[in-house]
Structures are given as structure tokens and as C-alpha cells.
Amino acid sequence: MLNSKRAQFTLPPQVSYLNCAYMSPLLKSVEKVGVKALRKKRNPVSISQQDFFTDTELLRKEYARLIHATNLKQIVIIPSVSYGMANVVRNMDIKKGQHIIVATEQFPSNYYPWKSLCDEAGAEIKAIAPPEDFDERGKRWNQRILEAIDSNTKAVAIGNVHWADGTRFDLEAIRKRTQDVGALLIVDGTQSVGALPFDVQKIKPDALVCAGYKWLLGPYSIGLAYYGEYFNNGKPIEENWITRLNSEDFAGLVNYKNAYHEGALRYEVGERSNFILVPMLLKAIQQLNNWGPERIQEYCREIGKNTIEKLMDMGFLIEKEEWRGSHLFGIRLPASTDLEKIKQSLFKHNVYLSFRGNAIRVAPNVYNTEKDFQKLFKALTKFY
Ligand SMILES: Cc1ncc(COP(=O)(O)O)c(C=O)c1O
């Protein structure tokens, strides 16, 4: 098992940061690369034409390793999830009578693009809700999603875990069902990829879109999207010079080309060579590959398990391990507890996490230890 990686970050010692689902702290190694990259522009001579292509290719390679992709040309650099989803939606046609399936209270960047698409076409967006009661909630929520998929389903757009409480969605089962009816599977990997294993060869998503600043441990405003072959001949939301064939030939750029680079590269954002953010995200993903998402998931499970068990015994509601992430899960308070008091208590104990929907969202990572969970337990049970 991994041991604590706290020393590789600069979090203040008194802080119990259980909020990676909000934003990861910066690895020292990533910070170092970022500062070096920032300084490079002091003298533009140090940024060569080749530099527009080298780190981006390395980033694709490293990310491909993380998600088990075999073709680098299907991986593109994006600035945000909304951007990655806009490219998906731009290349879908949907008619009245058809629908898109999402999970209830899904993150807005994976809702609004679909809402807009459906509204324009007079199609429907179906948000599948979990059962009201907590009994087998994750399992039954998954069943409801599978049951909602039919021959009028154009796509299922969903996360691997729900962003607000970590409920796990069985993407393999959803993929199978979508294939049966000819629907696309579009995954927002922002709250899972990096900390939870993801295998594009197994899941075969039509798109996997992921922001870089959470579980990928990268900086803000850069992310990665994997687009399946369905999108290879599509139309990007913007037209920029670097996505066109032969863009490596700077002298010939105004010999305008109709053709794009191979695969899905046409979907890359303008100025995707970002000389600061790209090397930072590259460094972060190299580190993740070195640790391995399986081991990160296992580490989070181990440091949290005692506290989770004790809280469940006391009546706090937490999803069964099988249907939640170990890196991201929700705690629902017993009816008698006062949320405002709990918030103050967490603050006093320097425990940082988020409140999303009706759940307290706990999101540990390799810089946490069991001690952070013990502090969480103390803060949560003080007014019990
Ligand atoms: C599931 C999920 N997707 C996407 C995002 C970020 O979206 P965007 O990159 O469009 O700002 C978040 C941020 O919290 C998220 O939780």
C-alpha cells in the first residue's frame, strides 16, 4: 500500500484538507515545473517552434497511460469540461421524441450543453433521480438509469461517480445497455479519473471529458478529453491553426488547409500548447501514473474505513462501499444534528470539506492520513 504523500505537498500542518473534489493542492514538483515554465517567457528565444508540439504530445502519452487508451490522436487538450462537452453536443443530432439521460443534480457543465441541445430540437432531457429512502440507494439509482435507457435514448451523459456524494455509476453496465439501443455514452471523469481506475478499453466511452485541477492534481483551466471514433469526422466548435494538417510548418501556415490533424485532434482548444499549464499537468499525471489510481483508491479506503464504520454505527448515512468512491463520498447527518453547529465545529477543527446538496462531501487523497478522519469524526460527533 502507498504511504502518506503529505511531504510532497505544502499544505499547512494543522489543516485537514478533505476537499480534493473542490480543488487539489499543488504538488511541490508541479509547482516547480510551473515556476520554471513561467520564467521561460522572459526570453522567447527559449521557446522553440518544436515546443508547440513536444509537451502536448508527452501529455497525451501520459494521459493515455492513465486511462489505458491506445491511440494518442483521440486525446485532446481542453480548457474546461464545458468546452469538451460543447464539442460533443455540436456533433450530435437529436429529434423530437428522443432524449438524453443524465443523473439528477449532475454538475452544470454536463447538464447545460444537453439542455440547450434538447431545447433547440424539442427533445427531452431526462434526469434520473435516486430513490427517496437510503436503503440500497446506489444500487437502485443505477437500476433506474438502466431502466430509463430505450430506443429513443440518444446519449447517456454521466460521471463515474456523482460529484455531490460520490455515488458510483456502473459504467460497464450502462455502456452495455447504451450499445444495445445505439446510444452514445459520454462520461464526465472530473471527479474520478486520477483517483479511481478508468479503462477506456473496457468502458469504451464515446467521450471522456475531464477537468485537470481536481483528481489529476493539475493547475486550473486545463483538462483533457478522449473522443471515440464516432467524433473523428465531426465539426469542432472553433477553428484554429494548430489543429490543421501540417501546422508544424510555421512558414506555410497561410497555405490554408481543409484537412485537420488525425483522429480527434481537431477538437483541441486554441493555444493548446500553453507553455505553463501543459508541463504542469504533465508532471502531475506522471506522478499519478507512478502511484497508480488503484493504489490511491486503496489508500483512501484504508485511511477512512474505521471512521466510516463508526459513523455508520452511530446513524450517519453513508453509501455502501460498492456503490461509492473511497476518494469521494457523502455523509448524511442523523435527523437530530444541527448542520450549522457541525459547520462551525468542522471549521474549529480545521477540517475542510464541502457541503453539496444534502450531503457533507468528503474527498481525501494521498496527502491525508487516518488522523484527518479522526478529526472529522470528532467534529461531526461533538453535537451528536
Ligand atoms: C463533475 C464535474 N465536472 C466538471 C466540473 C468543472 O467544470 P468546468 O471545467 O466546465 O468548469 C466540476 C467542478 O466541480 C465537476 O465537479
Could you tell which of 23, 191, 354 is best to mutate to test the pocket of ligand 1, judged by most ligand atoms within 8 Å of the CB?
191
DSSP code for 261? P
Ligand 1 mean position to 109 CA, how many Å?
A: 6
Correct CATH for 6-18+293-381 of 3.30.300.340, 3.40.930.10, 3.40.50.180, 3.90.1150.10:
3.90.1150.10
Question: Residue 263: how many CB atoms within 10 A of its CB?
Answer: 18
pLDDT of amino acid 66: 98
Q: Per-residue b/e over 100-117, b at no fewer than 16 CB within 10 Å? A: bbbbebbbebbbebbeeb
What class, spelled out in words, does domain 44-290 have in CATH? alpha beta
Could you tell which of 102, 158, 163 is best to mutate to test the pocket of ligand 1, judged by most ligand atoms within 8 Å of the CB?
163
pLDDT of amino acid 179: 98
The DSSP secondary structure of 311-326, one letter per residue, reads HHHTT-B---GGGB-S
- Return the closest-CA partner of residue 239 out of 210, 219, 269: 269
**Cβ atoms of residues 267 and 240 within 8 Å:** no
Pairing of strands 153-159, 354-356: unpaired
| pLDDT tens digits in sequence order for the chain, 384 residues long | 999 999 999 999 999 999 999 999 999 999 999 999 999 999 999 999 999 999 999 999 999 999 999 999 999 999 999 999 999 999 999 999 999 999 999 999 999 999 999 999 999 999 999 999 999 999 999 999 999 999 999 999 999 999 999 999 999 999 999 999 999 999 999 999 999 999 999 999 999 999 999 999 999 999 999 999 999 999 999 999 999 999 999 999 999 999 999 999 999 999 999 999 999 999 999 999 999 999 999 999 999 999 999 999 999 999 999 999 999 999 998 887 888 899 999 999 999 999 987 789 999 999 999 999 999 999 999 877
- Return the closest-CA partner of residue 380 out of 352, 354, 341, 350: 341
pLDDT of amino acid 336: 78
Ligand 1 mean position to 107 CA, how many Å?
A: 6
Could you tell which of 19, 77, 81 is best to mutate to test the pocket of ligand 1, judged by most ligand atoms within 8 Å of the CB?
81
| Residue 54 to residues 20, 48, 279, 281, 287, Cα–Cα distance (Å) | 29, 10, 10, 14, 19
Q: Delimit the CATH 3.40.640.10 region(s) of the chain.
A: 44-290
The DSSP secondary structure of 78-145, one letter per residue, reads ES-HHHHHHHHHHT----TT-EEEEETT--GGGTHHHHHHHHHHT-EEEEEPPPSS-TTHHHHHHHHH
Q: Delimit the CATH 3.90.1150.10 region(s) of the chain.
A: 6-18+293-381
